[in-house]
Amino acid sequence: MSRKLPLGEGEVARTACARGLLRTGVVEKTGEVLSAAALVERVGWAAGLVSGMAAELLAGHWNAADVDVLASGVDAGGRKLPSNAWMALRRLGWTAAPADGVRVNDRIVRMAQEQAGRALRSAHWRAELTSAVLRTWPGDPGRRTPEEWDRVGEAVPGGRSIPSSVIRSRTRQITAFDKKHGRLPAGVFELETAPRAARMLLLSACDGQQATIERGEHDPQRALLRLQLPTRPDPRSYRDWTWVACPLTLPPTIPPGAVLHLPTLRLVGNKVRADLAYTHAVSRTSRTGHTVALGVDWGLNTLLSAGAARRHDDGRITALGHGAQFRAAGILAKQHRLRRLSEHLHAKADQYQRLIDADEQHELSGRHEVLQDEIRFVSDRRSNLNDALARAAARWTVDQAIAARATVIYLEDLRSMEAGGMGRTTNTRLSQTVRGQIADRIRHLAAEAGIAVVTVPPRNTSRHCPRCLTPLRHRKAPDRPTTPGWKWALCPDRAGCGWQGDRDHGAWQRIAARGLTHQAKTVTDRATGQMVIRTVADPLETQAVITPTTQTSRADRSKTGPTRRHTTRPAPRRRGAPSPTGPQGPAGKRPEGHAPTDPRTLPRAAHRHQGVTTISTPTTRRHRPRGAALGAGFHLHAHATPPQWAQPMPDTMSCMGSLS
Of these ranges, 182-196, 572-586, 589-603, the one predicted with the greatest mean pLDDT is 182-196
Interval 360-365 mean pLDDT: 84
The rounded mean pLDDT for the chain is 83
Q: 636 and 553 in contact (C-beta within 8 Å)?
A: no
pLDDT in tens, 519-571: 999 999 887 788 999 889 989 999 999 998 765 555 666 777 788 777 776 65
Query: Are 512 and 308 spatial neighbours (Cβ–Cβ below 8 Å)?
Result: yes
pLDDT at position 652 is 45
DSSP structure class, residue 503: H
> Which residue, among 198, 230, 274, has the nearest Cα to 105 in the 3D structure?
230
* Domains of the chain: residue spans and CATH: 13-137+184-281 (no CATH), 292-328+388-541 (3.30.420.10)
- Range from 59-68, 414-423, 493-502 carrying the lowest mean pLDDT: 414-423
Q: What is the pLDDT of residue 591?
A: 52
What are the pLDDT digits (tens) for 48-75? 999 999 999 999 999 999 999 999 989 8
The CB density around residue 218, as the number of other CB atoms within 10 Å, is 5
> What SS3 state is found at 472?
coil
CA neighbours within 13 Å on the CB side: how many for 252?
Answer: 0
C-alpha dist (Å) from residue 528 to 55, 129, 161, 474: 29, 17, 11, 37
pLDDT tops 80 at residue 78: yes
Choose the weakest-confidence range: 73-82, 151-160, 215-224, 511-520: 151-160
Please state whether 10 falls in left (phi above 0), alpha (psi between -120 and 50) or beta. left
| Arithmetic mean of pLDDT, 223-232 | 95
**Residue 581 and residue 147: Cα distance in Å, rounded?**
90
CB 297 within 8 A of CB 526: no
User: Which 8-state DSSP code applies to residue 464?
Assistant: B
Q: Is the pLDDT reported for residue 581 higher than 80?
A: no
More confident of the two residues 580 and 564: 564
Q: Which residues pair with 473 in a beta bridge?
A: 490
Q: Which of 195, 202, 28 is nearest to 114 (CA)?
A: 202
User: Mean per-residue pLDDT for 327-339?
Assistant: 85
Confidence of residue 275 (pLDDT cuts 50, 70, 90): very high
Enter the DSSP assignment of 230.
E
* Cβ pair 607, 630 in contact under 8 A: yes
Distance CA 520, CA 531 (A): 12
Euclidean distance between CA atoms 330 and 476, whole angstroms: 22
Q: Give kind and range of the element (H or E) at residue 344.
A: helix 329-356
Angle of helix 164-181 relative to helix 106-135, nearest 10 degrees, comes to 90
Calculate ∠ Cα 204-206-207, nearest 5°: 115
Decide: 639 and 327 in contact? Cβ < 8 Å.
yes
Tell me which of 55-69, 375-389, 617-631 is least confident.
Answer: 617-631
Specify the pLDDT at position 22: 94
The pLDDT, as a whole number, for residue 608 is: 44
Higher pLDDT, 332 or 423: 332
Mean pLDDT (whole number) for 200-210:
93
Cα dihedral sign, 56-58-63-68: positive
Instruction: For residue 250, give the nearest of 280, 230, 277, 272 by alpha carbon.
Output: 277
pLDDT recorded at residue 417: 53
State the pTM of this model: 0.74
Is residue 586 over pLDDT 70?
no
Beta-strand relationship, 408-412 and 292-298: parallel
Please give the average per-residue pLDDT across 639-660, as a whole number.
Answer: 48
- Cα distance between residue 428 and residue 328, in whole Å: 17
Task: Give the pLDDT band of residue 609 (cuts 50, 70, 90).
Answer: very low
Q: Does residue 252 come out as left (phi exceeding 0), alpha (psi in the -120 to 50 range) or beta?
A: alpha
Cβ-based neighbours of 23, under 8 Å, separated by 6 or more: 36, 39, 247
DSSP assigned state of 90: H
pLDDT at 16 over 60: yes
Query: What is the structure's pLDDT at 327?
Result: 86
CA angle 438, 426, 341 (to 5 degrees): 80
Banded model confidence at residue 445, pLDDT cuts 50, 70, 90: very high
Confidence of residue 656 (pLDDT cuts 50, 70, 90): very low
**Parallel, antiparallel, or unpaired for β 271-283 and 292-298?**
unpaired
Lowest-pLDDT range, 406-410, 501-505, 516-520? 501-505
* pLDDT tops 70 at residue 325: yes
Helix (H) or strand (E) holding 248: strand 241-249
Residue pair 30/244 in contact by the 8 Å Cβ criterion: no
CA–CA separation, 611 vs 609, rounded Å?
7
Would you place residue 162 in the very low, low, confident or very high pLDDT band (cuts 50, 70, 90)? Answer: confident
pLDDT at 432 exceeding the cut of 80: no
pLDDT above 70: percentage of residues in the chain: 80
168 pLDDT more than 50: yes
- Sign of the torsion formed by the C-alpha atoms of 244, 245, 247 and 253: positive
Contact 107, 209 (CB under 8 A): yes
Backbone torsions φ then ψ of 461, nearest 5 degrees: -70, -30
Under 8 Å between Cβ of 274 and 1: no
The answer, yes or no, to whether residue 624 has pLDDT greater than 60, is no
Q: What integer pLDDT is reported at residue 514 of this predicted model?
A: 94
Model confidence at 10: pLDDT above 60: yes
Distance CA 179, CA 616 (A): 49
Type of residue found at 611: G
Measured in degrees and rounded to the nearest 5, phi and psi for residue 515 equal -65, -40
pLDDT score for 301: 66
Q: Output the pLDDT for position 329.
A: 81
Q: Residues 401, 324: contact at Cβ < 8 Å? A: no
Answer yes or no: is pLDDT of 595 > 90: no
**What share of the chain in percent tops pLDDT 90?**
46
Q: Contact, 264 vs 219, CB < 8 A?
A: no
Residue 258 is classified by DSSP as: P
Strand partners of residue 134: none
Q: Is the pLDDT of residue 423 over 90?
A: no
Q: What is the CA radius of gyration of the chain?
A: 31
User: What is residue 330's three-state secondary structure?
Assistant: helix
| pLDDT the model gives residue 574 | 55
How wide is the angle at C-alpha 260 spanned by C-alphas 277 and 212, nearest 5°?
105
Give the rounded distance of the alpha carbon of 34 from its chain centre. Answer: 36
Contacts of 42 (CB under 8 A, 6+ apart): 25, 34, 229, 230, 231, 244
SS3 60: helix
Question: CA-CA distance, 415 to 411, in Å (whole number)?
Answer: 11
Confidence bin at 263 (pLDDT 50/70/90): very high
99-141 confidence digits (pLDDT tens): 888 999 999 999 999 999 999 999 999 999 999 999 999 988 8
pLDDT-derived band at 333 (thresholds 50, 70, 90) equals confident
Average pLDDT in the 170-188 region?
91
Closest alpha carbon to 129 in 187, 195, 185: 187
DSSP for 573-617, please give it: SS--SPPPPPPSSS------SPPP-SPPPPPGGG-S---SS-S--
Distance set, CA 550 to CA 292, 316, 544 (Å): 19, 14, 19
- Name the DSSP class of 471: B
CA distance 441 to 399: 13
